Amino acid sequence: MKEVDGDSALDRATEDALALFADQRRGSRSRPGDRLPGEGAEAAGRARSGRTEPRHAEPRHAEPAHAGPAHGGQESFAYFPFDEIPVGGGVVDGGRAVGTARAAHATRGPSVPAPAPAPAYDDLPFTDLDAARNGQDEKRARDMTADDAPHGSHTPHATSWSTARAVAAAAAGALPAEDRALGDALGQVLAEPLVALTDLPSFDTSAMDGWAVSGPGPWKLPPPGAQDVLAGRPGARPLRDGRAVRIATGAPVPPGATAVLRSEHGEVTVQGELLAGRHVSHGQDIRPRGGECRQGDELAPVGTLVTPALLGLAAAAGYDALAVVRRPRVDVLVLGDELLREGLPEGGLIRDALGPMLGPWLRALGAEPGEALYLGDEGGALREALAASTADVVVTTGGTASGPVDHVHPTLRGLGAELLVDGVAVRPGHPMLLARLGPGRHVVGLPGNPLAAVAGLLTLAEPLLRALTGRASGASARAVLAEAVSGHPVDTRLVPVEYDGAGRVRPLRFHGPAMLRGLAAGDGMAVVPGGGAGQGAEVTVLGLP
């Protein structure tokens, strides 16, 4: 039978699932002639095997969705062609399933009540349909649904989102200090207090171009051709009372000077006298020595992030190098046989989005990532790479579920790693993990879908790297939702949002686990609690690099 027949069976099963959901919403029981989700799965199986057995019209009793493990103890994730999370209580751009669902309702006859509105994403019944035609398709189907399966497939041992972040933050301490030249210390954290090595400024300095004057005016100027007081030329002669001399900004104020008269406030007469156009107070426009700090003053404490402004302050205070916390070295292992590194997707392959994204993201978090290593779906290569790595943190992408080509868990067990977090109650991204591979060595396992991987970065990698770099915990921003966001009944949901200019955040459309379009246009990720959040609710917003 042609391959397209299998897709047709998949469509029929999807229609049945949505039709059953509408019946349940209306409180009705299954009627003769209605196909249930189990029958849709059988139809798909007949389509793949080439059998065309007649469909039974007798009513059946549907087994509960996700009633137990299948396929040798592994949980069977159903394929469902939704790539969007609902916003405002309904499915946004549901794709093919919405259209087929409408078609299914349209053929049920005039006696059937009008269907309920499109259900919220988490209420959709997932069938135990195996949509995979080979191991690679099965992996893609599982990855697509693992982050989006409804609450019936909630992993019992999954760690809550807030607890997972706390565990990651407490998993390690700050790395040892190192001395870095000022030009190389940007983005690192001070391992020692920044203490002034000199007074700032180190001498009395003119704050303006004008005249250094002594006493009340008018003042007598030196004869024409006398040397002005310029910056970088010390040794100006002392000024006697009633005298003035031309001075530049930043120049040392001559001994005996009582103020600086700005150029625009003075007038020179033909007799060579300087007159003030306004009152001149004592010390006016003179920066006194030590006015900013005295030698020995603490300018910044341990743990301060080295910013461009801090580099300027350190240089002014006499530093050539800074003692900073060493950057964590991070190895990135990209898993998956289906990934292309260049060109257009073809032949069932997809472009890798994580390799180009992870390096800059990790660098923004204070890490020093190496070039991504592509391993495919080969368990031996993964074990060899993990065993050989000397990095402080290894970040893997994909392979964190429990399917036949998901090798992260068994590889970590084989290496004697300690699982600190094994699954997080968050959507997307719940199959993420954090493990201790040895003293001072950690593994962050990210899901393979791009937005799910970002959820893993924000949940586990960011707090771990903050601890390793000595950075203080980032202050959580709070914002009000401009629109309601539906949520998982139990798990936390992370949704890309943008600020609307009025202090509120608006959820973005393209926020499926495999999508980056919403994230690329967003200003942050809103933390939506289980059950969702209504319009006007206040939520935490995680910042983006």
pLDDT of res. 110: 37
pLDDT of res. 59: 38
Compute the distance between CA of residue 176 and CA of residue 280 in angstroms, rounded to an integer.
54
Sort strands 339-340 and 350-351 into parallel, antiparallel or unpaired: parallel
Q: What is the largest CA-CA distance in the chain?
A: 119
Dihedral (C-alpha) 519, 522, 526, 532: value to the nearest 10 degrees? -80
pLDDT tens digits, residue range 63-102?
333 333 333 333 332 323 333 333 333 333 333 333 333 3
pLDDT at 138 over 80: no
Are 446 and 432 spatial neighbours (Cβ–Cβ below 8 Å)?
yes
pLDDT tens digits, residue range 286-321?
999 999 999 999 999 999 999 999 999 999 999 999
- The tokens of 255 are what? 């001994």
- Terminal Cα-to-Cα distance of the chain (whole angstroms): 50
Burial of 125 (0-12, 13-18, 19+ CB in 10 A): buried
pLDDT tens digits, residue range 185-242?
999 999 999 999 999 999 999 999 999 999 998 999 988 767 889 998 877 789 999 9
Q: pLDDT category, 263, cuts 50, 70, 90? A: very high
Compute the distance between CA of residue 323 and CA of residue 441 in angstroms, rounded to an integer.
23
What residue has token string 């019992």?
Answer: 156
Compute the distance between CA of residue 64 and CA of residue 450 in angstroms, rounded to an integer.
31
Are 385 and 353 spatial neighbours (Cβ–Cβ below 8 Å)?
no
- The tokens of 537 are what? 């609710």
The model's pTM is: 0.68
- The tokens of 80 are what? 């469902």
pLDDT at 406 over 80: yes
Compute the distance between CA of residue 492 and CA of residue 522 in angstroms, rounded to an integer.
19
Coil/strand/helix, residue 329: strand
Q: Which residue has the higher pLDDT, 352 or 276?
A: 276
pLDDT tens digits, residue range 498-531?
999 888 999 998 787 878 888 888 899 999 999 9
